Structures are given as structure tokens and as C-alpha cells.
Amino acid sequence: MGIQIVQTLSAQLSWSHIYSLIYIKEEVKREFYTQLCIHERWSVRTLQNRMSSMLLNGLTLPNKKVLEKRIH
């Protein structure tokens, strides 16, 4: 099952994106950033900057229901 997920993501994101995302321990956060990368077409640099800025500013990520609305 894990191989399918990587194959699907690798068609949409670069390996550098995936490498940055796999270290996010919380699944909701990882999915949030993954979807933003795909839908907003973030570069790896943008992804890393956004992840850093959200952490530095103490911003909270949306809960699972908000995330699901954004994905669909």
C-alpha cells in the first residue's frame, strides 16, 4: 500500500518535495502540505519556506474537517 502512495505522489510531486514531506510526523499536517504543493504548485523552496514560517509564527494548521473541505 505504501508503494502505491509513493507512485501516485511521484507523478504529482518531485522527489525533493516528497523528501521534505516524509519527515512531517503528523499525518494531518503532512497531508495538508502535500495537497497545497499539488494544488498551489509550490516549488520545494516555497514548501520549505511555508513550513518554516507557519512554525515560526505559531500558526495552527486547520483541523481535519477543514483540511478535507480544502482537498475536495
User: Tens digit of pLDDT for each residue in 33-67?
Assistant: 998 898 899 999 999 998 888 754 555 555 555 55
Summarize the confidence of residues 25-33 as an average pLDDT: 87
User: For residue 21, what are the CA distances in angstroms to 14, 56?
Assistant: 11, 18
Amino acid at 67: L
b/e code 21-31 from CB counts within 10 Å (16+ = b): beeeeeeebeb
Q: How much is the pLDDT for 1?
A: 45
Distance between CA atoms of residues 15 and 43, nearest Å: 12
User: What is the pTM (predicted TM-score) of this model?
Assistant: 0.66
Interhelix angle 44-56/27-40, rounded to 10 degrees, is 130
Residue 26: pLDDT band (50, 70, 90) is confident
